[in-house]
Chains A and B, each alone.
Chain A
Amino acid sequence: MGAGVTAHKRRRADAVPAASLATGATVAPPGGWARRPRAHGLRAHRPWAHRPWARLRRDPLVRVLRLGRPLRWRLVLAVLASALATGCGIALLGTSGFLLARASQHPNIVAITAAVVAVRALSVGRGVSRYFERLTSHDAAFRVLADVRVAIYRRLARLAPAGLAAFRSGDLVARLVSDVDVTQDLFIRGVGPPLAGALVGGGAVAVCLLILAPAGAMLALGLLAAGAMVPPLALAVSRRAARTTAPVRGELAATVTDMMSGAADLHAFGAQDEALAAAAVADGRLTAAARRSALAEGLGTGLGMAACGLTVWAVLLLGVAAVSAGTLTRVPLAVVTLTALAAFEAVTPLPAAAVAITAARSSGRRIAAVLDAPDPVREPSSPLPLPAGPVHVELRGVQVRYAPDEPLALDGLDLDLSPGRRVALVGPNGAGKSTVASVLLRFCEPAGGTVRLNGADLASYRGDDVRALIGGCPQDPHIFDATIRDNLRLARPGATDGELADAAARARLLGWIESLPRGWDTRVGAHGTALSGGERQRLALARALLADPAVLILDEPTAHLDSEARSALLADLLDVTRGRTTLLITHEPEGLADVDEVVVLDHGRVARRDTPVPQVHLRRVVRAAGHAHSLPPGNPTSHGKGIRQ
């Protein structure tokens, strides 16, 4: 059943961000630029924004590059070191050429002493500066990465969770984070080598121009071809090849997925061979497409080598002609030829740079979309102070819409959370239950109706202040990759060990924690994988109890649990919330006899509200409400147990 629900949510989530993330960079969000607070490194709204090069500043790649500005001197240092290393290599061969050509004229040894010293120095300089360059560039890139992370985090912290579609799917968050990591590669491979290449290539061309102008011009042409034209061309060709094979690749992936997901059916019906034959056909098509595209994909390598070889040939030809014309002697001839030969070292890393830049551009697009996403809620300019004493929350006719073209997620909800009252919000998945929690936590702005906290509009308080009063356990509470103590203390950093133990005890978790060999210092693993589903939920409950907000929201606290664990946890949490203002959100109507009111939601509307009713009756109500669309397939059977026995 769990899988069904997640798949449903994923599909919905995938459809939205694909559009919103992709267009974020170019489409101004509603609400205009001016009012929105800008994130770090972003100054889109400026008087000169209409100038042509303002477009360049809005380019996702440029915006990612600008995030590295605070560290520009370190980056410059890395580029210089890289240029020095490559330059030493080129000069080493050029000077060696000078050394041999001069020596072949049998002069006094003094004539070549300087060259001998230079050659030795260059050889050591090359190795050392390359080492230094690698360290500097990696160090700078890691520092930029830290800055980018903080900048993105700051923005995400304002957006989460309602302001960014990415938060509706864990996969998208992971992709965004890896997009941020891509910037590291941009600063190591994408920025340094082209700049260093331009510097060193320019230097080599200048030397050759001084010696023999036409040869210098030839070298400039050759380097431009190999460094600036071939890598983007090769990249474009391979991207085109990838596009043409994409449908065939997709077909193969679909066939294999089909086979693996339906393996049981194939085995039971003896249909494996037919399925394998279908996969072989798809594989054959992909292989044929790959063979065809190989012809184009080899071009980059071939053209790069041709540019190098033919440039050296042309320089040699021009040099020999100049020597026989008497305008050049053997020494500059050797220097110009060997320099041209070595100069192509400057363009060797450029194909990799082209790949890094392209990857950074598409990541940059998604990063820019995050930086540009509008705030989901407006913070008040002069917020009210937090009320002291009992808290009373009142919702009247609340409507919520996630996007202009989406139906209302919540339509006309009335709800009273007066002190000590416990309300259960019940309904099938997608009914709008969690939206209520989002409204109360100031994660999203209602499109209509009023939300009042002790009589004042909820929006007139600061969001962080509201969440100090209204809190609890969000849907899918995140368990951090840290110790149990850290995960719990997060709810109240100043809490004493006694208070931690007390909260854990009330969530019926203390005995288990103390039974662990490392106790409170047990690490829970990424996403709390070292814990069972029940332990995770109880840890989240303990967190909510430790935070002790005036209004406690528990959003699906029993999700992903089997029925035994579910009823145990539900009983415990109803026990522990007695006398607290509580909003309990669940799609399981069982075991709610204890609450003061049960509100059944369906399609964003209240389908029914009641003081606790007989179980069977309530079950039918919920089932009828969910029948139309989305009670997950496994659900009816687990509901059914109650009455059939």
Chain B
Amino acid sequence: MRPVDPRLLRCSRAARGHLIVTIGLGLTATALILAQAGLLAHALAMAARGHGVAALSATLAAVAAVAAARALVGYGGEVAALRAAAATKSQLRRRLVAHALRLGPAWLGRQQPGEITTLATKGLDALDAYFARYLPQLVLAVVVPVAVLIRVAVADPISAAVIGVTLPLIPVFAVLVGWHTKARTRSQWRLLATLGGHFLDVVEGLPTLKVFGRARPQEEVIQTVSSAHRSATMSVLRVAFLSALVLELAAALATALVAVEVGLRLLTGHVGYETALLVLLLTPEAYLPLRAVGAQFHASAEGTAAADRAFQILDTPVPAGTGRRSVGVDLRADELALTQVTVSYPGRARPALDGASLTVSPGDRIVLVGPSGAGKSTLLALLLRFIEPAAGTISVGDVDLAAIPVDAWRAQLAWVPQHPYLFAGSVADNIALGQPGASPDAVRRAACRAGAAEFIDALPGGYQAPLGERGLRLSAGQRQKIALARAFLRDAPLLLLDEPTAHLDQGSARHIRETIAALPPDRTVILVSHDSDWADGADRVIRLEHGRLLLPAGVAI
């Protein structure tokens, strides 16, 4: 990890502004540290010469003022940092969410469920420590030692030389120890991970252990493994803590060296009492921020790791096929043709779709059948352009599908997925997903055609009833009907239906079949179903097996 992640600073104006503010506050804080040491030394030296409170009133007032100012700068710095963190997180979060959505359902399907949400909320929140603690400390670690060194050099060059020699030891040793620990830790990492996960593994497996009467002997194993884990960890820590030892020793030794050396010269009158005190007070200050920055660096590691993951996602290229040609396609008139299309998913031996060729004319009613895993949903995903063919072409009229902008293409489609998703919002919002401006009347009509009107009217709140995670729980059939209403309202030239009646009772299923049969003749329908009832109204029933299309040419099964 680098000390400062340039991507974090580049990603938002708030972050850049924050860096400037932090540097400004860091300089102010440094000036206050120097002032405090100077004032304390002055007050102690003057008091030693017999000056009373009255004579030193200005100095004492200044000490109080500096103390107050340091507290204010500390407070202001923290507030500014937290606000900058909030602004940066907000920008990063918006970009992350927008980009993840743009990467599309196929990409999201490969991620851990909930990962984006966790990353966008809890993950990025860990950046607070980075902005509010680590960055300011980093600035101080750079500015304070230099400023102290200069101030001491002005007052007493010999002491400055002592500090100047010991100070660089800290970063040098920290890096050396860090390297050594890293190599050691890496070699022990596997062992540590295995041992560390052991307890969870055993507790999760307790019911199984009990069935086989092995629960009691595991007590000893837990004790043994915990001991092994401790020894392994301690052997890593013995080295890792050496860097802290070096820091502490260097800081303490330098203070001792300066105190003794200044003390002896003070004894012989080669240096003044006030100067000696100033040097003594400043010496530990040079080492303090260096010690603190290491700790803050580790504390902010979680946040920077989250940011790393966010940038990794942001760097993932959006899938190709976002053609720019503004081609006017109209599926009411243009023929859709798949030629030798092959789709393979990573990690699968067999292609999901293997050299499929198919021509769909406007107004076709096509039913796709076949066992699960045969490639039916893959075919729909292709037409939805969630995925791209690995080989072969899809064309509309005489235009390659890849050349058509995705949004323009999808405007031609309506889709009823196998598991439709209902968003937090009202029933009406969910039906009007593809037509946000639709009139209540149009929504109602679409619901009627989908056979949903009856149950929606019975819901508390009717079309305004809340759905989604915190809303009403609908049955699978009711969700399906809302998805159908969504598709009917869209009124697109090509209707893609994935098991549209799987969760519906006989009566509702018949109603849906009749509605689809009654669609205007220029609407094209491609439907995936297990149900032989659909074959009656279909122009073609196409069977898919192991990714291959078998065309029985209009023969019902």
Query: Residues of A with Cβ closer than 8 Å to B?
Result: 85, 88-89, 92-93, 95-97, 99-101, 103-104, 106-107, 109, 112, 115-116, 119-120, 122-124, 126-128, 130-131, 134-135, 138-139, 142-143, 145-146, 149-150, 153-154, 156-157, 160-161, 167, 170, 173-174, 176-177, 180, 249, 252-272, 274-276, 279-280, 283-284, 286-287, 290-291, 293-295, 297-299, 301-306, 308-310, 312-313, 316-317, 319-321, 323-324, 330, 333-334, 337-338, 341, 441, 443, 464, 467-468, 471-474, 477-478, 480-481, 490-493, 526-527, 543, 547, 562, 633, 636-638, 640-641, 644
Do A149 and B199 contact each other (CB < 8 Å), given the known contacts A269-B490, A276-B98?
Answer: yes
Output the least CB separation between B419 and chain A (Å): 7
The B209-252 residues at the A interface (CB cut-off 8 A) are 209-219, 222-223, 226-227, 229-230, 233-234, 237-238, 241-242, 244-246, 248-249, 252
The B510-526 residues at the A interface (CB cut-off 8 A) are none
Contact present for A547 and B212 (CB under 8 Å): yes
Name the segment of B87-95, B140-148, B440-448 touching the other chain.
B87-95
Do A287 and B252 contact each other (CB < 8 Å), given the known contacts A309-B68, A320-B60, A324-B53?
Answer: no
Set of chain A residues within 8 Å of B486, measured between Cβ atoms:
269
Contact present for B105 and A103 (CB under 8 Å): no
State whether the Cβ of B100 lies closer than 8 Å to any Cβ in chain A: yes
Contact present for A135 and B238 (CB under 8 Å): yes
Do A100 and B417 contact each other (CB < 8 Å), given the known contacts A92-B252, A491-B212?
Answer: no
State whether the Cβ of B56 lies closer than 8 Å to any Cβ in chain A: yes
Contact present for B207 and A474 (CB under 8 Å): yes
B454-495 vs A, CB cutoff 8 Å, 1 = contact: the mask equals 000000000000001110000010000000001000100000
The B83-107 residues at the A interface (CB cut-off 8 A) are 83, 85-87, 89-90, 93-94, 97-98, 100-102, 104-105
Contact present for B386 and A267 (CB under 8 Å): yes
Do A96 and B280 contact each other (CB < 8 Å), given the known contacts A150-B219, A271-B434, A644-B532?
Answer: yes
4 more contacts with CB within 8 A, not counting A120-B260, A160-B215, are A263-B105, A274-B436, A330-B44, A443-B210
Output the least CB separation between A236 and chain B (Å): 16
C-alpha spacing A174/B205, complex, angstroms: 12
Contact present for A298 and B75 (CB under 8 Å): yes
A sample of 28 cross-chain residue pairs with beta-carbon separation below 8 angstroms, ordered by A number, consists of A92-B259, A124-B249, A124-B253, A128-B245, A138-B234, A142-B229, A176-B203, A257-B117, A261-B421, A262-B421, A268-B415, A290-B82, A290-B86, A291-B86, A297-B82, A304-B74, A309-B67, A310-B68, A316-B60, A320-B52, A330-B47, A468-B213, A481-B194, A481-B197, A493-B217, A526-B197, A526-B201, A644-B531
Contact present for B90 and A146 (CB under 8 Å): no
Contact present for A131 and B248 (CB under 8 Å): yes
State whether the Cβ of B180 lies closer than 8 Å to any Cβ in chain A: no
Contact present for A321 and B53 (CB under 8 Å): yes
Output the least CB separation between B167 and chain A (Å): 15
Contact present for A265 and B499 (CB under 8 Å): no
Set of chain B residues within 8 Å of A274, measured between Cβ atoms:
436
Do A637 and B101 contact each other (CB < 8 Å), given the known contacts A142-B229, A176-B203, A490-B209?
Answer: no
State whether the Cβ of B40 lies closer than 8 Å to any Cβ in chain A: yes
Of the candidates A106, A134, A177, which one forms a contact with B267 in the assembled complex, judged by CB atoms under 8 Å apart? A106
Output the least CB separation between A129 and chain B (Å): 9
Set of chain A residues within 8 Å of B241, measured between Cβ atoms:
131, 134-135
State whether the Cβ of B120 lies closer than 8 Å to any Cβ in chain A: yes
Set of chain B residues within 8 Å of A294, measured between Cβ atoms:
78-79, 82-83, 86
Q: Count chain B CB atoms within 10 A of each CB in A156, A160, A301, A319 and give the residue with the most.
A: A301
Output the least CB separation between B557 and chain A (Å): 9
State whether the Cβ of B413 lies closer than 8 Å to any Cβ in chain A: yes
State whether the Cβ of B186 lies closer than 8 Å to any Cβ in chain A: no
Q: Which residue of A lies closest to B62 (CB)?
A: A313
Set of chain A residues within 8 Å of B74, measured between Cβ atoms:
298, 301-302, 304-305
Set of chain B residues within 8 Å of A474, measured between Cβ atoms:
207-208, 211
Contact present for A302 and B71 (CB under 8 Å): yes
Output the least CB separation between A98 and chain B (Å): 9
**Lowest 3 A-B CB distances belong to which pairs?**
A309-B67, A302-B75, A324-B52
Set of chain A residues within 8 Å of B204, measured between Cβ atoms:
170, 173-174, 478, 527
Of the candidates A156, A255, A283, which one forms a contact with B206 in the assembled complex, judged by CB atoms under 8 Å apart? A156
A-B contact count (CB 8 A): 422
Contact present for B469 and A254 (CB under 8 Å): yes
Set of chain A residues within 8 Å of B468, measured between Cβ atoms:
254, 258
C-alpha spacing A543/B213, complex, angstroms: 13
Do A258 and B469 contact each other (CB < 8 Å), given the known contacts A173-B203, A280-B94, A306-B67?
Answer: yes
Output the least CB separation between B385 and chain A (Å): 8
Output the least CB separation between B468 and chain A (Å): 7
State whether the Cβ of B151 lies closer than 8 Å to any Cβ in chain A: no
Output the least CB separation between A298 and chain B (Å): 4
Output the least CB separation between A337 and chain B (Å): 6
Q: Which residue of A lies closest to B279 (CB)?
A: A100
Contact present for B198 and A264 (CB under 8 Å): no
Set of chain A residues within 8 Å of B252, measured between Cβ atoms:
88-89, 92, 122-124, 126-127
Do A320 and B53 contact each other (CB < 8 Å), given the known contacts A104-B276, A122-B252?
Answer: yes
Of the candidates A116, A130, A142, which one forms a contact with B230 in the assembled complex, judged by CB atoms under 8 Å apart? A142
Contact present for B410 and A267 (CB under 8 Å): yes
Do A256 and B60 contact each other (CB < 8 Å), given the known contacts A120-B256, A294-B79, A467-B213?
Answer: no
Contact present for A301 and B530 (CB under 8 Å): no
Set of chain B residues within 8 Å of A156, measured between Cβ atoms:
203, 206
Set of chain B residues within 8 Å of A330, measured between Cβ atoms:
44, 47-48
Contact present for A123 and B253 (CB under 8 Å): yes
Contact present for B277 and A490 (CB under 8 Å): no
Contact present for B208 and A127 (CB under 8 Å): no
Set of chain B residues within 8 Å of A286, measured between Cβ atoms:
90
Q: Which residue of A lies closest to B434 (CB)?
A: A269
Output the least CB separation between B107 and chain A (Å): 9
C-alpha spacing A393/B260, complex, angstroms: 87
Set of chain B residues within 8 Å of A317, measured between Cβ atoms:
53, 60
Q: Which residue of B lies closest to A464 (CB)?
A: B213
Of the candidates A109, A138, A467, which one forms a contact with B237 in the assembled complex, judged by CB atoms under 8 Å apart? A138
Contact present for A153 and B218 (CB under 8 Å): yes
Contact present for A301 and B75 (CB under 8 Å): yes
Do A103 and B48 contact each other (CB < 8 Å), given the known contacts A257-B114, A471-B212, A491-B212?
Answer: no
State whether the Cβ of B355 lies closer than 8 Å to any Cβ in chain A: no
C-alpha spacing A139/B237, complex, angstroms: 10
Contact present for A161 and B255 (CB under 8 Å): no
Of the candidates A302, A471, A480, A636, which one forms a contact with B78 in the assembled complex, judged by CB atoms under 8 Å apart? A302
Output the least CB separation between A154 and chain B (Å): 6
Contact present for B94 and A279 (CB under 8 Å): yes
C-alpha spacing A93/B117, complex, angstroms: 50
Of the candidates B48, B50, B197, which one forms a contact with A101 in the assembled complex, judged by CB atoms under 8 Å apart? B48
Contact present for B234 and A139 (CB under 8 Å): yes
The B367-415 residues at the A interface (CB cut-off 8 A) are 371-373, 384, 386, 407, 410-411, 413-415
Output the least CB separation between A457 and chain B (Å): 20
C-alpha spacing A490/B217, complex, angstroms: 11
Of the candidates B211, B372, B415, which one forms a contact with A638 in the assembled complex, judged by CB atoms under 8 Å apart? B372
Set of chain A residues within 8 Å of B60, measured between Cβ atoms:
313, 316-317, 320
Q: Which residue of A lies closest to B201 (CB)?
A: A481
Contact present for B502 and A134 (CB under 8 Å): no
Set of chain B residues within 8 Å of A526, measured between Cβ atoms:
197, 201
Set of chain A residues within 8 Å of B83, measured between Cβ atoms:
290-291, 294
Contact present for A256 and B116 (CB under 8 Å): yes
Set of chain A residues within 8 Å of B530, measured between Cβ atoms:
637, 640-641, 644
C-alpha spacing A263/B113, complex, angstroms: 12
Q: Which residue of B lies closest to A284 (CB)?
A: B90
